[in-house]
Chain A
Amino acid sequence: MPVNADFQGRVYPPTETYRVSAAKIREFAEAVGSADPVHVDADVARSRGYADVIAPPTFAVLIAQQCDAQLIRDPEAGIDFSRVVHGEQRFTHHRPLTAGDAVVGTLHVDTVREAGGHAMVTTRTELATEGGEAVCTATSTIVIRGAE
């Protein structure tokens, strides 16, 4: 089943709130090997002007991929997850994700296209606080490999 081109332009309702914790930031920073104490030491973070410890630049993927799941798991979208390869990823940070943030993600399906027997889907997750402050824009392109 091919990827459903009708999904291009679709915007999903905001997700449930994700609460950014200092513990998850520490775990993520250790996993990617980011030694900056700003991820684990609140005093260091405050001395640099942040409200609390801040997340590494790619932490937002954790929330964005949960948003993407709304599309990928939708049977009507026709995406065979076993054939999905991550093609491209981009983050624009309006400010760092910070421990204590309560964020919601709004998923936009920007493009659905076919090329060379493969399908490519570009999604954009806009992460904002519950109060509506923009925090991060995460853009992802997945490639769904065509059948041999």
Chain B
Amino acid sequence: MSNDTTAGVRALSSVSVGDALPPRTVHIDRARLVQYAGASLDRNRIHWDERFAKEVGLPDVIAHGMFTMGSAVTVVTDWVGDAGRVVEYGVRFTKPVVVPYETGADVEVSGVVKAVDTETGRVTVELTATCAGEKVLGRALAVARLD
């Protein structure tokens, strides 16, 4: 195997349970949600139309849960060095991310290695995502396969 193939991909031997991944803050504003709505084809108006969101009983526009899920996993893919190494990823949506017009919202994402299987190369990372001090994702686990 040439070095090129694995260049930049984290080595299994360098990973230990308890390792912390570099955290990241994801800033979300309305423009970001419109961009995600177009990219994902999820055009539900609760994610960009404040008047509509309030009419259906929400405090304001809320972010797509799938936007939060998709942006949170970049903490894992950047750390691994290859987005194609993520073989499993699951979350619970525990709280909506409310996105006010003026300030937007900040989601703080961090991750820690929970398990390393040296036989299969599977590394399990637990992600924590909070907004205004509250967890917005629960049981957020990503499994990457490393060599």
Asked if A and B bind, the verdict is yes
Q: Is the C-beta of A8 less than 8 angstroms from some C-beta in chain B?
A: no
Whole-angstrom CA separation of A56 from B70 in the bound complex: 8
A57 touches B5 (CB 8 A): no
Stretch at the interface among B14-22, B79-87, B116-124: B79-87
A33 touches B39 (CB 8 A): no
Write the chain B residue with the least CB distance to A58.
B70
A35 touches B41 (CB 8 A): no
Whole-angstrom CA separation of A50 from B9 in the bound complex: 14
A50 touches B84 (CB 8 A): yes
Contact of B74 among A27, A35, A86, A96 (CB under 8 A): A35
Most buried by A among B41, B84, B90: B84
Please, which residues of chain B bring their CB within 8 A of the CB of A50? Answer: 84
B77 touches A57 (CB 8 A): yes
B91 touches A88 (CB 8 A): yes
Q: Is the C-beta of A131 less than 8 angstroms from some C-beta in chain B?
A: no
Whole-angstrom CA separation of A47 from B79 in the bound complex: 19
Whole-angstrom CA separation of A54 from B82 in the bound complex: 10
With A36-B82, A96-B84 as contacts: A88 and B92 at CB distance below 8 Å: yes
Query: How big is the B interface, by class?
Result: 35 or more
Write the chain A residue with the least CB distance to B55.
A82
Whole-angstrom CA separation of A24 from B88 in the bound complex: 22
Contact of A92 among B9, B65, B88 (CB under 8 A): B88
With A31-B35, A38-B83, A91-B90 as contacts: A57 and B40 at CB distance below 8 Å: no
Q: Is the C-beta of A90 less than 8 angstroms from some C-beta in chain B?
A: yes
Please, which residues of chain B bring their CB within 8 A of the CB of A39? Answer: 83
A47 touches B38 (CB 8 A): no
17 chain-A/chain-B pairs, Cβ below 8 angstroms = A27-B39, A33-B74, A36-B77, A36-B83, A47-B4, A50-B84, A57-B73, A57-B86, A58-B70, A61-B70, A62-B41, A85-B93, A88-B92, A89-B69, A89-B91, A91-B89, A93-B87
The 3 closest A-B pairs by CB, nearest first: A90-B90, A31-B39, A32-B70
User: Which residues of B are in contact with A by a Cβ distance under 8 Å?
Assistant: 4-5, 7, 9, 26, 32, 35-36, 38-42, 56, 65-67, 69-71, 73-74, 77-78, 82-84, 86-93, 142
User: Which residues of A are in contact with B by a Cβ distance under 8 Å?
Assistant: 24, 27-28, 30-36, 38-39, 47-50, 54, 56-58, 61-62, 65-66, 82, 85-93, 96, 139
